[in-house]
């Protein structure tokens, strides 16, 4: 009996299986995390490209609609986000000709042409939420989703 216990203690045939059993869950969690991060990055990239595509559509043509409607419809179609998630803001930037100091105004206001240069910008903001495959609450909203926000700007004048 004692000889059987000694031979069993020296036997290393099952060591690799036990090591694999200990390491496999850690490796699986890392793999799942990498897939989730890749999916989130892919979604953000899709939204960024849709916003850029909407701005490019404005530069090419406005078809029969307004500038905002043309860009908004292009972004909604390309990104697959609701219309309410697309915000478009017009800004006017006035730069003093002597000092170079800049100030940003609403589009309804105007610069003093005698003392300032003016530049108009269109800022497009697209928001969305990413749902991970395995919801982990770290950094997520109360509903378990991660916010994605993309901003694209274009000088129009």
Domain boundaries defined on the chain = 15-155
Q: What three-state secondary structure class fits 71?
A: helix
Q: What's CA 127's distance to the chain center, in Å?
A: 8
pTM score, whole prediction: 0.70
Burial of 79: CB neighbours in 10 Å, binned 0-12, 13-18, 19+: buried
Contact residues for 25 (Cβ-Cβ < 8 A; gap 6+): none
What's the pLDDT score for residue 63?
60
Is the pLDDT at 49 greater than 80? The verdict is yes
Give tens-digit pLDDT for 70-88: 888 888 988 889 989 998 8
pLDDT-based confidence at 108, cuts 50/70/90?
low
Q: Grade residue 24 by pLDDT with cuts at 50, 70 and 90.
A: very high
Q: What is the sign of the dihedral through the CA atoms of 94, 127, 59 and 153?
A: positive
The two three-digit tokens of residue 6, written as one number: 């000694």
Q: 58, 153 in Cβ contact below 8 A?
A: no
Please give the distance of CA 19 from its chain centroid, rounded to a whole number.
39
């Amino acid at each position: 009996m004692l000889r059987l216990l000694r031979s069993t203690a020296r036997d290393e045939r099952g060591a690799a299986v036990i090591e694999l059993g200990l390491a496999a869950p850690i490796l699986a969690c890392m793999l799942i995390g990498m897939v989730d991060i890749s999916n989130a990055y892919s979604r953000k990239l899709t939204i960024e490209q849709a916003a850029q595509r909407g701005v490019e559509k404005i530069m090419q043509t406005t078809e029969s609609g307004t500038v905002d409607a043309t860009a908004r419809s292009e972004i909604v179609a390309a990104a697959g986000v609701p219309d309410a998630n697309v915000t478009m803001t017009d800004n006017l930037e006035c730069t003093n000709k002597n000092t170079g100091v800049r100030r940003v105004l609403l589009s309804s206001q105007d610069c003093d042409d005698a003392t300032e240069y003016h530049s108009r910008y269109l800022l497009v903001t697209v928001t969305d939420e990413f749902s991970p495959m395995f919801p982990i609450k770290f950094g997520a909203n109360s509903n378990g989703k991660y916010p994605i926000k993309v901003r694209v700007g274009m000088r129009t004048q």
